[in-house]
Amino acid sequence: MTRTVPWQPNTIADLRECLDRITADGTVPGGVIAHGTFDSEPGFLASGVVAPECGDARPGPDTVYDVASLTKVLAGWPLVGTFLRNDLDTPVSRLLPGIPAEAPGGRVTVRQILAHTSGLRADTRLDQYRNRTEPLAELICGEDLIAEPGAGHRYINRGFILLGLALAHSRGRRLDELAAEFWQRLGMTNTTYGPVARSAQVAPTEQRLPGAPRLWGMPHDDNAALLGGVAGHAGVFTTPADLAAFAAHLLSSHATSGPQGRWLTASMQPQAAIEPGLDRGLAWILADDGRVAHHHGFTGTSLYLAPATGRYLAICTNAVYHHRDNRTRLAPLRALALKAITGEPVGAPN
């Protein structure tokens, strides 16, 4: 049984200070950090407002956020572990109808997609397929590869779109239905594919045109929107409380060698180097010599898991509300979160 390591008050205080700072300087309208261990009740830090459109509504555990690429680990990754785990080294041409084995993308495997070593086109651009009549999987796999499959790491959304299609085909059901059943089993009652109804508890994201309404309850990702909001790479909306429930379930299953825990263990084996100190496992980014798994979402979200200590941390913000360059603007909070989850001594960055 894993010996959980509780969060220290000074670490929580540092995280709160950093969240307050990026709210005060306009990086985000507000946000929530969920933290805990799998055998304790979650704690929540909140700052700012949901958004100006929501009046004085404050963000909290039940605020709904578009989590963008966290969809990959909330939907695609656990469903692959449930339904396609024995097919990790199977080419997608065998999992989807109508794809010739000689198609450039047809030989890409499930493992390579999860590891972002597929060599598929890096730009998603599903809008280029408007007015085409061929099935989407055939169009994606028919494109020339940009690298030999397995040759190296490059973050690719198209692979997870293919995984979503393969999951739906393998089970004869829509991807959102499969995901909803999984989330319901974990008690994640506020997690869903969009669109969701606008309310003061739903965080708006970006204003695409001056004077036009912001995206609010609609997927921020253009390609997920083109797919009706349901895709393997983006489109999920969830809450800090549900992210805590998801993380606690994975870590508890890991501690007891349950099915999802075994899948997490397998997924934390390095598949490709990203940069010094970071590797890609199956979907997850690995840090701290492979002891921490994490993933980010473009809208301003992150999820961190440390199975060895039983700890998790989730960040929910709508950082794209003010700025699209959220990667650099959120860097101090994300760096602090990574240090906190590894158990290193931390201090809020200046």
Over the stretch 254-313, which tens digit does the pLDDT of each residue have?
999 999 999 999 999 999 999 999 999 999 999 999 999 999 999 999 999 999 999 999
Bond into 135 cis (ω within 30): no
Cα–Cα distances in angstroms (integers) from residue 56 to residues 24, 30, 47, 265, in the given order? 15, 11, 12, 42
Mean pLDDT, all residues of the chain: 95
> From CA 35, how far away is CA 340, in angstroms rounded?
10
> From CA 97, how far away is CA 102, in angstroms rounded?
14
Q: Which two tokens stand for residue 131?
A: 């007015």
pLDDT given at position 88: 98
> From CA 108, how far away is CA 145, in angstroms rounded?
10
What is the Cα Rg of the chain in Å? 19
According to CATH, the topology of domain 9-71+190-342 is: Beta-lactamase (3.40.710)
What residue ranges of the chain are covered by domains with CATH 3.40.710.10?
Answer: 9-71+190-342
| pLDDT reading at 349 higher than 90 | no
Task: Give this prediction's pTM.
Answer: 0.96
User: Is 79:42 a contact under the CB 8 Å cutoff?
Assistant: no
Of 219, 215, 223, 178, the residue nearest 74 (C-alpha): 178
Average pLDDT on 134-149 reads 97
> From CA 330, how far away is CA 334, in angstroms rounded?
6
Of 249, 193, 182, 201, the residue nearest 42 (C-alpha): 249
